[in-house]
Structure 1
Amino acid sequence: MDIHTSKKVVAVGGGHGLGRILAALQDFGHNATGIVTTTDNGGSTGRIRSCQGGIAWGDTRNCINQLITEPSISSMMFEYRFRGTGELDGHNLGNLMLTALDNLSVRPLAAIDLIRNMLGVDVNIIPMTEHPCDLTALSIEGSWVTGETSVDEMTEDLQRLDLDPVVPATKEAVVALSQADCIILGPGSFLTSIMPPLLLSEISQAIKNNSHAQLVFVENLSPEYGPAGRMTLAQKLKWCERALHGRTLDVILGAEPHIELKGKWHCETRDLASPNRDWRHDRDKLKNAICDLIRTW
């Protein structure tokens, strides 16, 4: 039985990490779905949000970029970043295109689908929510900060994360999670890429309720900085399970063995690093590892 046509895989996260996972899942085509974090407030995305409003497009654009298999004028346009001294300096044309389509479309998801069709991307990409919101964090000292960039820069450890305002999850994301045979969290920035979608009650409940799906956590290959860098792997796993209402992570996939996790979580140790950049996951190694997990589940 070909797992690429018989199994559905959903990956949750943001930034470069989710894009890497989705690139590894390309053989699944329409049976693969990425649920993308939409709370970024830095760089080109943050500047667009501050003057235009809307959800953050940067992580979605990054995922689409990593799924483009046939370079074209359209893909070159989508990936183009302006340089110079004017207001356009640093802006990515893909972000601007998605923002413009969002303003013209009934839903942000329609904008993503139009771009996917234009660039020949088969993998489904769904924003975690279609409503603007920001990530907020409560420090152990009792102070709140707002915005992903502020969370990453916190010098104090965190008690909890929230979304402000409370927004609904995209309904297609909830359906995809409820039908998934395998759900993947990570890799990526733990607090600002992996956790935000899990803060949406419909998404966390859909993962908890899908008891037949294999739930996989993929570790980063390089250390994080800021408050996430001060968390142990066990702490991160507990944060995920707490957000998922106690749902246990079935497999922890990483490049290093974790003796300290023995008896608490099932760990799979694999060589996942790219040969020329050991901080980045190799697409083929990641693809083979995930397919092996699905086959043996």
Structure 2
Amino acid sequence: MMKHELNSVDSIVAIGGGHGLGRVLSSLSFLGPKLTGIVTTTDNGGSTGRIRQDETTIAWGDLRNCLSQLAHRPAIGTMLFDHRFNGDNELNGHNLGNIILHALEQLCVRPLEAIKLIRTILKIETRVIPMSESPTHPSALNAQGETVFGEMNVDDMKEIPSQLTLAPNVAATCEALPAINKADIIIIAPGSFFTSVMPPLLIPSIANAIKDSSAKVILIDNLTSEPSCASSLTLDDKIEWINQSISTNRINKIIRNSDAVDIGELVSYFPLVSDHHLGLHHKEALAEAIATVVSQKA
């Protein structure tokens, strides 16, 4: 199945964090409005983290990353949106896209409406929806029963958490649920497992929507071991974490990297590594892999 045969699919939803989800969305961007990304909003590092230290806001970094990867290039709007300040001042390290999105929020624009405005400016057809429009952070329990709060601290844990939640609990962005409900394909994107992949699945209404969906659910695994305690998780461990959040086994297909194509009943292997970076999926190859597993019987 060639990737453009995916055009026969009415709706695909991809869920996850910025870098991994952005790569998936970019790979499938030819689908235009048939494609929707539901984006994790819990980051507290870098430019986003500095904004969140001073303001009560969702994390804009992963959303900005997805929009950036979907944007047409080269264009002055994209260059401005991607611009990162440098110099010996308080702007150093801040990303202009994050600041623009937060400024729109301060102008009493819903986060989703702010994203729609940026999509219009950057001529992005694919829908991008925050998992929630309310601020929240991942919160984990370690082996000693102590609470570890915030994305960066969870990623720095030395052992697998015994429990992972959102603090506070938040509602899903209302537009996310009908997108999941009408999806023919749901993709769980690669990324940092506990802090990019899992947070949207910790929102009960999103988990229930996936559970009740008739869509084929595809998990795309990481290319490389992530620099966190999640690196010790096996594929079965990841499936178990996802199943516990969704309260059932909903994963129909799994895409993993290998030098040779091997189409299995559950796990399918494809050569997926980008020519430019060992940690990035090759966009054309990833689109072809998704098309291939979509064509398989569930």
TM norm structure 1: 0.94
Aligned to 1:276: 276
Residues 43-54 of structure 1 correspond to what in structure 2 (within 5 A)?
43-54=46-57
Aligned to 2:130: 127
Residues 1-297 of structure 1 correspond to what in structure 2 (within 5 A)?
2-210=5-213, 212-256=214-258, 266-297=266-297
| SS of the residue 2:222 aligns to | coil
Deviation at residue 6 of structure 1 after TM alignment? 3.7
> What whole-Å deviation, never above 9, does each CA across 1:235-291 have from its counterpart, x for those lacking one?
11110011011133111110149xxxx9xx711111111123232100000111112
**Paired residues, what number?**
290
Alignment partners' CA distance in 1, 2:155 and 2:184: 33
> What whole-Å deviation, never above 9, does each CA across 1:36-84 have from its counterpart, x for those lacking one?
0000001100000111221000000001111112322211110000001
Alignment partners' CA distance in 1, 2:172 and 2:63: 16
| SS of the residue 1:70 aligns to | coil
> What whole-Å deviation, never above 9, does each CA across 1:164-209 have from its counterpart, x for those lacking one?
1111001111111111111011211111100000000000000000
Please give the root-mean-square deviation of Cα atoms over the aligned residues, in Å: 1.6
Q: Is the 8 A contact 2:258 2:272 kept in 1?
A: no
Q: Is the 8 A contact 2:9 2:184 kept in 1?
A: no
Gap regions ≥5 residues in structure 1: none
Distance change (3 Å), C-alpha of 1:141 and 1:112: same
Q: Is the 8 A contact 2:72 2:78 kept in 1?
A: no
Alignment partners' CA distance in 2, 1:5 and 1:97: 36
Q: Is the 8 A contact 1:141 1:156 kept in 2?
A: no
Deviation at residue 225 of structure 1 after TM alignment? 2.0
Give 1:30's aligned amino acid. Answer: P
Give 1:172's aligned amino acid. Answer: E
Gap regions ≥5 residues in structure 2: none
Give 1:220's aligned amino acid. Answer: N
Deviation at residue 232 of structure 1 after TM alignment? 1.5
Alignment partners' CA distance in 1, 2:291 and 2:10: 10
Identity of counterpart residues, as a percentage? Answer: 44
Give 1:63's aligned amino acid. Answer: C
Deviation at residue 2 of structure 1 after TM alignment? 4.9
Deviation at residue 5 of structure 1 after TM alignment? 4.9
Distance change (3 Å), C-alpha of 1:279 and 1:3: closer
Alignment partners' CA distance in 1, 2:155 and 2:69: 24
Alignment partners' CA distance in 2, 1:225 and 1:2: 36
Alignment partners' CA distance in 2, 1:157 and 1:287: 32
